[in-house]
Amino acid sequence: MAQLDGVLAAEDGGDAPTPAGATAQGSAGAGFRSRFRGWCRGWRPAGRRGWITAVLAVLLAGLLALHSSVPNSVGNLGSLLETFLPWAGLTLPLLLTVAVWRRSVAALVAVLLPVIVWFNLFGGLLFDKSSGKGDFTVLTHNVAAGNRDPAGTVRLLNGSGAQIVALEELAAQAVPTYQAGLAATYPYHAVEGTVGLWSKYPLSGVSQVDIRIGWVRAFRATVATPRGPLGVYVAHLPSVRVKFDRGFTAEQRDVSAQALGDAIERDGLKKVLLLGDLNGTMNDRSLAPITSQMRSAQGAAGDGFGFSWPSTFPMARIDQIMSKGGLRPTASWTLPADGSDHRAIAASYRY
């Protein structure tokens, strides 16, 4: 009878025995829900919690949006900032983590500001913009005077598939190695000073370009492509350094950029390419004499940031392929590391 009474009581909604596992699971679930509700209640829309994070986020947004307003009058700080500007994005996850940890609505909203600005500046570089095969491919590479493996660099260039190849920082003793190693693939070439051009198409009108540094690091040639003539500039602008007593030493490079920009602007051909190591990025306002009239292949048809220097851990794209006059880039990419401290970059174009 006692057992029957227990069954009847359970059917009538009375207390029934509960398995021990179910009790433990219910307690754990209730505890998690309680802690989650407590964490949510801890968020504060205002007050002093997270205000330091919010201020830092607003300052970062302002720095990204107004980077061109940072003066170059003191140590060329503006150009230094613009050289590594994309890396400011690394601070965004940190600020976001702190805002969530502090449970501050104000900080979280403030962090959205630099996120929006950064994506407005660089978000387009995160996606593949290539549009198929071009009519020809060009390549530029600072092969480095101290190249540890020039023979390996020759193999890289021969296997690149490029029809036009520009080389910078050619050491005098290494020029015969490149001339002999590239002759079969590129029957036409010209070397002026420490820069050179190798081509599968005939070259003519080779002339030095004075970039005001006292020796030859730039020249121009006309390349007779199957689609028509192409003006090609090969250039290696002066190097820049970061020094504690002088800041970003870019003055000589800036003078050379103006001279090179003037020469390109005066060019008589409609379609013009610039291949070279400009020792500056497309964000650097000091390269405006060039960037204001030419289009970057990486920005128009690349996939990612295309950093080219230093080769072991690329942090900036200071090597550039640029065009004007209706040439349309269809793809842009970076080649694997070789014996140089730079990585070669390439781009395909439709004439």
Domains, the chain, ordered by start: 51-126 (no CATH), 136-350 (3.60.10.10)
* Mean pLDDT of successive 10-residue stretches along the chain, which has 351 residues: 41 47 54 55 63 95 95 86 94 94 91 97 94 95 96 98 98 97 98 98 98 97 97 96 70 96 97 98 96 97 96 97 97 98 98 95
How many Å from the N-terminal Cα to the C-terminal Cα in the chain? 98
Rounded Cα distance between 302 and 305, Å, is 8
Rounded to two decimals, the pTM is: 0.84
Q: Which residue has the tokens 């433990």?
A: 24
Give the total residue count for the chain. 351
Specify which residues 167 forms β-bridges with: 141, 196
What does the DSSP assignment read for 272-336? EEEEEE-SS-TT-GGGHHHHTT-EEHHHHH-SS----BSSSS--B--EEEEEESS-EEEEEEEPP
pLDDT at 301 (0 to 100): 96
Rounded Cα distance between 227 and 329, Å, is 15
Q: Which two tokens stand for residue 160?
A: 């690149």
pLDDT at 297 (0 to 100): 97
Rounded Cα distance between 290 and 283, Å, is 12
pLDDT at 20 (0 to 100): 52
User: What amino acid occupies position 149?
Assistant: D
